[in-house]
Amino acid sequence: MSLHLVIIDALNLIRRVHSAQPDPADIARTTATTCRTLQRIIDESAPTHIIAVFDHYLQDRGWRAQLLPSYKQGRKPMPTPLQEGLESIQQAWWELGIDSLLSDGDEADDLVATLACKVANHQEKATIISTDKGYCQLLSPTLQIRDYFQQRWLDSPFIEKEFGVQPSQLADFWGLTGISSSQVPGVTGIGPKAAQAILHQFTSIEEAYASDQLADKYRKKLDEQIEMARICKQVAQLKTDIELGFNLQDIRFQPLSAPKAE
Residues facing residue 144 across a β-bridge? 127
Residue 6 in marked binding region: no
Distances from the Cα of 129 to the Cα of 13, 26, 261, angstroms:
8, 24, 23
60 is an annotated ligand-binding site residue = no
Q: Has 214 been labeled as part of a binding site?
A: no
Phi and psi of 242, rounded to 5°? Answer: -80, 140
How big is the chain, counted in residues? 262
Pairing of strands 49-54, 4-9: parallel
Q: Is 187 annotated as a binding residue?
A: yes
Q: How far is CA 160 from each of CA 59, 117, 170, rounded to the nearest angstrom?
A: 34, 22, 10
**98 assigned ligand-binding residue:** no
Nearest to 145 by CA among 125, 118, 124: 125
Q: Are the CB atoms for 65 and 105 separated by under 8 Å?
A: no
Amino acid identity for residue 92 in this structure: A
Bridge partners of 127?
6, 144
Q: Identify which of 177, 187, 175, 151 has the alpha carbon closest to the alpha carbon of residue 40.
A: 151
Binding-site residue numbers for K(+) are 176, 185, 187, 190
Q: Which residues are annotated as a binding site for Mg(2+)?
A: 109
Annotated binding site: 109, 176, 185, 187, 190
